[in-house]
Amino acid sequence: MSTPDLHLPTIHLRPPRNWINDPNGLTFHDGHYHVFFQHNPHGPDHTGIHWGHHRSTDLVTWEELPPALTPTPGGDDADGCFSGNAVSDGDRMLAFYSAYRTDRWWQPIATAESRDSGLTWRKHPGLVIPTPPEGTSMYRDPYVWRQGERWRMLVGASVTGERGAALLYESPDLVDWQYRGPFFADGPDVDGGWTGWECPQYATFGDRGLLVVSLWDAVAGPRSTRVYVGGEEAGRFAPTGHGPLDHGPDLYAPALLHAPDGRWLLWGWSWEARDQQWSHEAGWAGVLTVPRELSLTENGTVRQQPASEVLGYRGRKVVHATGWSADDDLGEVGTAFDLTARVRPNSDAPCGLRLETAPGEHLDIVVDPVAGELVVDRDHASLDPRAHMGRYRIPLSGQRRSVDFRVIVDGSIVELFLESGESLTVRCYPTGPTPWRLRAFGEPEHIVDVWELDAGGRRTAIGHDELHTAA
Ligand code: FRU
């Protein structure tokens, strides 16, 4: 029997094998939440990209369906069906996507529809937007939504002046699109380089709006995410502030779903933070985050928390600890768990929680009262040098004495959420076999609760067994 891959997440969405990247086409349609994603069903590399597909009625139990969109040989999307979104329009679901060919620098906008809840798809002939406007040097990733009587679309771009841009189109009928100019553009963000925005997304809260973009630059390629807070003035987005959507190194291309109960839900792509050869050996790469609820607080800050449905994966409670002692062993936690903590430093010394996975191998969550920050330190999170290292910070605003947070660990993905709303996503690849243990260090006063996470039988794959049989 082969040893289980402890890095492969269990409750997070991804197929059992092969490559995934961006979440796409997030829609509620026909009683289902649909989560599509960039997917190579044939290997662990970013090539021959399809739209993979999961759907769920409750965000807990998920069915994996056959890929929705497949590149058409010789067609406009011959080299990949790149990112986009979908809308529910009466009895059909309509997908807008970026048609990728290696012989074009831009990705025109193509469409496809499904009338059977996403089981089968028919591509529309031709392109809804064949060419980008003048002065554009990168162009892809449509995001379509309904606003009042009209449909609107943002497309990610880089425009003259090396600025990232979300270009705005409008349509009465989802067929004829009028270009209205940049909804918003900003940058450049890189010295001597240029910036482009991928996967622009827009959430509205009354007359306020959040514009979420993924920053791509000529030097590093995909880099990080940003959220602009603002509102609309004369058909353009006018920001009042911005910040990182996530404080970790491993979240990109987040996408939004407007749920029927009014919530804005968000999934992101967490890429591998290890040597490519290692993911080849593992046979898979990339994972989607848990669904997060994105909201805007009364004082205008952005708040992200796991969607309440994520509680549905909690199993047995494995730790309940309240304490105040040096080097406190809180017990075994397994490889997939959901942790809530209140940590209150007793001195100026850093203190926090340590996930210990093998002797000398640990991931630290540190509250540094002097620097006024929470640090996630993965410098020692893997004994294997092929894993990326680094220390990542969230500034702690105000005069907080105690820090409340929640951490979801599932194999190699770690998602941390401060109660105040900041998130930090990081990947780590412990070599230590189970059991993983949790410790408190630096004598904090703490309250920690940990539940095992378990997908149980809540994952099924239908209609494409051939993709899931052993290679
Ligand atoms: C973002 C991105 C998109 C593109 C897709 C290709 O990660 O580069 O801009 O449409 O991935 O897979």
The full set of domain ranges for the chain reads 18-309, 312-453
Residue 163 pLDDT class (50, 70, 90 cuts): very high
How much distance in Å is there from the Cα of 52 to the middle of ligand 1? Answer: 14
- For the cut 90, the answer to whether the pLDDT of residue 456 exceeds it is no
pLDDT (0 to 100) of residue 443: 81
Catalytic residue among 22, 76, 79, 328: 22
| Residue 98 alpha carbon, nearest atom of ligand 1 | 10
pLDDT (0 to 100) of residue 467: 43
How much distance in Å is there from the Cα of 131 to the middle of ligand 1? Answer: 18
Same fold, 18-309 and 312-453: no
Residue 58 contacts by C-beta under 8 Å, 6 or more apart in sequence? Answer: 309, 312
How much distance in Å is there from the Cα of 339 to the middle of ligand 1? Answer: 32
pLDDT (0 to 100) of residue 2: 67
The residue whose C-alpha atom lies closest to atom 9 belonging to ligand 1 is 198
- For the cut 60, the answer to whether the pLDDT of residue 470 exceeds it is no
Cβ–ligand 1 distance for 49 under 6 Å, the answer yes
How much distance in Å is there from the Cα of 238 to the middle of ligand 1? Answer: 26
Mean pLDDT across 451-456: 93
| CA-closest candidate to residue 345, choices 420, 401, 393 | 401
Ligand 1: which of 21, 77, 251, 270 to mutate, most ligand atoms within 8 Å of CB?
A: 21
Residue whose token pair is 């791509």: 216
CA-to-CA distance for 354 and 441, rounded, in angstroms? 7
Cβ–ligand 1 distance for 38 under 6 Å, the answer yes
Cβ–ligand 1 distance for 164 under 6 Å, the answer no
22 is catalytic: yes
| Residue 156 alpha carbon, nearest atom of ligand 1 | 9
Residue 399 pLDDT class (50, 70, 90 cuts): low
| Residue 22 alpha carbon, nearest atom of ligand 1 | 7
Which homologous superfamily does the CATH classification assign to the domain defined by 18-309? Glycosyl hydrolase domain; family 43 (2.115.10.20)
How much distance in Å is there from the Cα of 441 to the middle of ligand 1? Answer: 41
State the average pLDDT for the chain.
Answer: 94
- For the cut 60, the answer to whether the pLDDT of residue 192 exceeds it is yes
| Residue 269 alpha carbon, nearest atom of ligand 1 | 7
429-460 burial, b at 16+ Cβ within 10 Å, e below that, comes to: bbebeeebbbbbbbbbbbebbbbbbbbeeebe
Q: Give 117-140 pLDDT, tens digit per residue.
A: 899 999 999 999 999 999 999 999
Residue 428 pLDDT class (50, 70, 90 cuts): very high
Mean pLDDT across 297-323: 95
Of the listed ranges 69-78, 324-333, 447-456, the one predicted with least confidence: 324-333
Cβ–ligand 1 distance for 253 under 6 Å, the answer yes
Q: Give 253-289 pLDDT, tens digit per residue.
A: 999 999 999 999 999 999 999 999 999 999 999 999 9
* Percent share of the chain, pLDDT over 70: 96
Of the listed ranges 8-12, 109-113, 369-373, 394-398, the one predicted with least confidence: 394-398
- For the cut 60, the answer to whether the pLDDT of residue 15 exceeds it is yes
Tokens of 104: 């074009």
- For the cut 70, the answer to whether the pLDDT of residue 400 exceeds it is no
312-453, what's its fold? Jelly Rolls (2.60.120)
Cβ–ligand 1 distance for 36 under 6 Å, the answer no
| Residue 83 alpha carbon, nearest atom of ligand 1 | 10
* Percent share of the chain, pLDDT over 90: 86
